[in-house]
Chain A
């Protein structure tokens, strides 16, 4: 966080770039300098795709040119088949041209600006003088020897790394960090405000078990309270508006990140709260989770968090829907862990806390939907010229309803949420069908927890699963019918162009978020991967006790920022593979959108960074 007042909002300079995200850029940076020919060729493919978009920085262009020639040079590539050999002259010309391009695009341009000589401006930029000599030699004299230009190519690549790739890497903004610091800024700001309203000094705070936070926050608070007292509420309003503006900017570019940061903040505050309250107080727990944090949480952090969400969602109406979607995913994961634990032994304290968190998250869903439904009818600000963003698209509501239903049995908050969604969809016949849903609440595992035995519990779970299966079956039925209806329509008027069915405002190059499926480019593959993980076989696995075994064969793995997906897709054809495999995709992994042959070591490396999503 760079101080409280930031002018940067107004002074952000954007440049057109051919990459979708810095992750994509980073993918190329890592692979283009790797030692594996396949990785290199995937990087080169991506660079040529960038070239097709125009605006390719010349540092990248020259790097790609040099690397491409080296890819063809047996000197730099051991074990290359002999028939792929280029003649020495061809290679030397390739290197020379790349070097000329390098010198011209850097030294020549700065020479024109400053009026210095080529060698002087090359010196200023740190370009090795060998490259200048080679440029001169092959423009005006004879073609330099291959040995010389090979050496020069190494120097040129080193220079490009130090002049462009490394400095640019250091410049990449850390979005996650920025979002987090902005959110924290906002909640602290709002917390302060709450205290100010109540008339109590902000330093009197509840003890929180997070020492590393406390000291920093204390200082921050002291600083802020000084500020608050000296400045008028006008100023604080303006500050809030400024933070909201920057959050909106971040949200429009990185909706997923903002949503997950918001929820992380929620979970964090919630857990710090848990540390301070006796969770195991049975009579209390069910009550507590019904009324989230309002009465219990006096230091206003939750209020601040909620105010922050509401303020932001007032400007970005779809935020709430997106959050609900994410929370449902979180609940799904927790449910999985819970049922895992519950089946192994008697309910443990972890099990209880898991249940408790599910309860909390579910009440959050209810709260979010409650506000989302209010918002739908009262948003005079956005209503004026952004008609599309004003209402939540029906398709989103349907999707939420489906996800909610899958988790609803035995969860009163989610049952409430389902009813809310049905109401929001505004379909009368649907509403009638859902009237009976609250009856399912009698199965609430939280309320029966106190006097349950292991066998009771198991039967409860089975019932639970039955309900899920039934719901799933019915949904499949509906989907089936729907599909049929749609396909018969399609047949009659074979049209390839159509107006998109639902739409809301989004930046060019992105799809509206959240739509049923997201704007997808490999850097964002995480999203699909999770979606895919929860596909149809999700419910069928419920019975099996050996969950761990199944989870090891999860369909996807994630490794740092490269997302790997084992998918066979016949549109994708492997590229740059020396010995073609029997099947086009056999033994290959789809990495960054390109199929690559994967050796055992690489697999082991991936495995060490595996992130498993349990899918029962």
Chain B
């Protein structure tokens, strides 16, 4: 199963390249193409998206990239919805690269099923941001900039509620191009055609159907499940690696765990920040117990403009609450977010994004939340 390894040999079929070329060059530059890439799990959506980005960058210089796959986002950590402005090609599609997003919303779970409404409102808010900042012509004309094309990567959950979410997204965004990548197991695919259109409305989007780059073997789903957990952990690890200077030679997770354990954290009084639990309720008295040794989204709650009312707040990055001091009421946080940006953070969002266990159980620094003698849970 060579293809399951974290750096599979990327193979871009000719049809894929042609499709990307047609999106990049056949359409007019104003308005630029808004491409919605969808398909079942592991069909190669994000590979195609990145290929498309590489194709668009030479022509437009800058391309917007909206990542709605909270399970395995391309440039950020799991649990995040984000929009990026990409201005350079990434030649090697196999390398896991972390990019600081233009705007980010912390959804706090790896699947939209936890809260479809909050998920959609996050996606809409990011799309609206793109629309006003990089698409709406009046605003751009004044600054003599041309609108940017947009590539939207979507989650691979295309059945049941997942299907409904994709339909909602398509209706809201109204893309110019919809690329659907189909796998050989027909039942797992989205319906063909403009499936999101209601009644007898007309659809102007260009539909492109592509076949997955490789055949699906029948026992893959299990392997993918295991693998996706590892991929998620790898992304979180890569993200927190950024806390440490690049010059540090850290090659193994063990070394990183040690380095993070001795890394001087930021401290913040709990009284100065709000804490919000995204997917559950926690009593105020219990907040320290809830936060200690968990990952939180660092968000800016200050309502500076009208647009943020009622929306999910912008998130500047993630942090690990590495310790709490209940006497002093302090939280100790490790994060790669620079202090200048951190100063705006006044809201901590707790979701269900877990710290990879390899960072918690390195010898000599075992977290209290890693216990021995635990009865096997089934």
A14-B370, A49-B286 known; A508 and B266 CB under 8 Å? no
Q: Are B286 and A17 in contact (CB under 8 A)?
A: no
> In the complex, A176→B281 CA distance in Å?
36
B283 to chain A, nearest CB (A): 5
Interface size class of A (residues with CB under 8 A): 35 or more
A419 to chain B, nearest CB (A): 30
Please name all residues of chain B whose beta carbon is closer than 8 Å to the beta carbon of A385 when the two chains form the complex: 258
A17-B374, A18-B369 known; A519 and B325 CB under 8 Å? yes
> In the complex, A497→B370 CA distance in Å?
29
Q: Are B375 and A48 in contact (CB under 8 A)?
A: no
Interface locus among B125-133, B193-201, B215-223, B359-367: B359-367
B:306-332 near A, CB below 8 Å: 320, 322-328, 332
B:217-276 near A, CB below 8 Å: 258, 260-269, 272-273
B176 adjacent to chain A (CB < 8 Å): no
A:32-51 near B, CB below 8 Å: 45-46, 48-49, 51
B314 to chain A, nearest CB (A): 17
What 0/1 readout, one digit per residue, does chain A (495-514) give for beta carbons within 8 Å of chain B?
11111100111111111000
Please name all residues of chain B whose beta carbon is closer than 8 Å to the beta carbon of A265 when the two chains form the complex: none
A164 adjacent to chain B (CB < 8 Å): yes
Q: Are A45 and B372 in contact (CB under 8 A)?
A: no
> In the complex, A508→B364 CA distance in Å?
11
A236 to chain B, nearest CB (A): 23
A106-B378, A171-B375, A252-B364 known; A509 and B323 CB under 8 Å? yes
Q: Are A500 and B289 in contact (CB under 8 A)?
A: no
Q: Are A45 and B283 in contact (CB under 8 A)?
A: yes
**Other-chain residue from A20, A54, A388 in contact with B352 (beta carbon distance below 8 A):** A54
Interface locus among A55-63, A204-212, A324-332: A55-63
> In the complex, A253→B372 CA distance in Å?
12
B21 to chain A, nearest CB (A): 44
> In the complex, A386→B362 CA distance in Å?
14
Please name all residues of chain A whose beta carbon is closer than 8 Å to the beta carbon of B372 when the two chains form the complex: 12-15, 173
A249 adjacent to chain B (CB < 8 Å): yes
A:439-482 near B, CB below 8 Å: none
Interface size class of B (residues with CB under 8 A): 35 or more
B102 adjacent to chain A (CB < 8 Å): no
**CB-nearest residue of chain A relative to B279?**
A52
B293 adjacent to chain A (CB < 8 Å): yes
> In the complex, A352→B363 CA distance in Å?
46
Interface locus among A291-299, A370-378, A570-578, A600-608: A570-578
Please name all residues of chain B whose beta carbon is closer than 8 Å to the beta carbon of A15 when the two chains form the complex: 370-372, 374, 377
Please name all residues of chain A whose beta carbon is closer than 8 Å to the beta carbon of B283 when the two chains form the complex: 45, 48-49, 575
A338 adjacent to chain B (CB < 8 Å): no
**Other-chain residue from B280, B285, B328, B332 in contact with A572 (beta carbon distance below 8 A):** B285
Interface locus among B52-60, B116-124, B202-210, B337-345: B337-345
B224 to chain A, nearest CB (A): 19
A559 adjacent to chain B (CB < 8 Å): no
Q: Are A506 and B261 in contact (CB under 8 A)?
A: yes
> In the complex, A403→B286 CA distance in Å?
33
B373 adjacent to chain A (CB < 8 Å): yes
What 0/1 readout, one digit per residue, does chain A (194-206) give for beta carbons within 8 Å of chain B?
0000000000000
What 0/1 readout, one digit per residue, does chain A (101-134) give for beta carbons within 8 Å of chain B?
0000110011000000000000000000000000
Please name all residues of chain A whose beta carbon is closer than 8 Å to the beta carbon of B280 when the two chains form the complex: 48, 51-52
Q: Are A252 and B332 in contact (CB under 8 A)?
A: no
A508-B367, A511-B325 known; A497 and B378 CB under 8 Å? no
**CB-nearest residue of chain A relative to B248?**
A385
Q: Are A521 and B289 in contact (CB under 8 A)?
A: yes
A20-B292, A59-B377, A388-B262 known; A499 and B267 CB under 8 Å? yes
**CB-nearest residue of chain A relative to B337?**
A497
A282 to chain B, nearest CB (A): 45
B211 adjacent to chain A (CB < 8 Å): no
Q: Are A496 and B375 in contact (CB under 8 A)?
A: no
Q: Are B286 and A20 in contact (CB under 8 A)?
A: no
A497-B343, A521-B326 known; A171 and B282 CB under 8 Å? no
> In the complex, A381→B372 CA distance in Å?
29
> In the complex, A433→B320 CA distance in Å?
44
Tell me what chain A mostly uses at the interface: helix, strand, loop, or mixed.
loop
Please name all residues of chain B whose beta carbon is closer than 8 Å to the beta carbon of A436 when the two chains form the complex: none
B277 adjacent to chain A (CB < 8 Å): yes
Please name all residues of chain B whose beta carbon is closer than 8 Å to the beta carbon of A155 when the two chains form the complex: none
Q: Are B354 and A55 in contact (CB under 8 A)?
A: yes
**CB-nearest residue of chain B relative to A25?**
B371
B184 adjacent to chain A (CB < 8 Å): no
Q: Are A500 and B378 in contact (CB under 8 A)?
A: no
> In the complex, A253→B369 CA distance in Å?
10
A145 adjacent to chain B (CB < 8 Å): no
B163 adjacent to chain A (CB < 8 Å): no
A188 adjacent to chain B (CB < 8 Å): no
Q: Are B371 and A508 in contact (CB under 8 A)?
A: no
Q: Are B378 and A508 in contact (CB under 8 A)?
A: no
B341 to chain A, nearest CB (A): 10
Q: Are B323 and A506 in contact (CB under 8 A)?
A: yes
Q: Are A508 and B262 in contact (CB under 8 A)?
A: no
A253-B368, A507-B368, A521-B292 known; A16 and B375 CB under 8 Å? no
> In the complex, A173→B366 CA distance in Å?
15
B350 adjacent to chain A (CB < 8 Å): yes
Q: Are B365 and A505 in contact (CB under 8 A)?
A: yes
**CB-nearest residue of chain B relative to A515?**
B325
> In the complex, A12→B263 CA distance in Å?
26
B267 to chain A, nearest CB (A): 5
**Other-chain residue from A17, A22, A519, A593 in contact with B324 (beta carbon distance below 8 A):** A519
A57-B377, A109-B378, A249-B366 known; A20 and B261 CB under 8 Å? no
A498-B267, A520-B326 known; A14 and B366 CB under 8 Å? yes
**CB-nearest residue of chain A relative to B288?**
A521
21 contacts between A and B (CB under 8 A): A15-B377, A45-B283, A48-B286, A49-B289, A53-B290, A109-B378, A248-B364, A253-B368, A388-B264, A496-B273, A498-B267, A503-B265, A507-B365, A507-B366, A508-B320, A518-B325, A519-B323, A521-B289, A528-B327, A572-B285, A575-B283
Extra A-B contacts (5), CB below 8 Å, given A249-B364, A497-B342, A506-B262: A14-B371, A51-B280, A57-B377, A109-B378, A171-B373
3 smallest CB-CB distances across A and B, nearest first, come from A509-B293, A505-B262, A14-B370
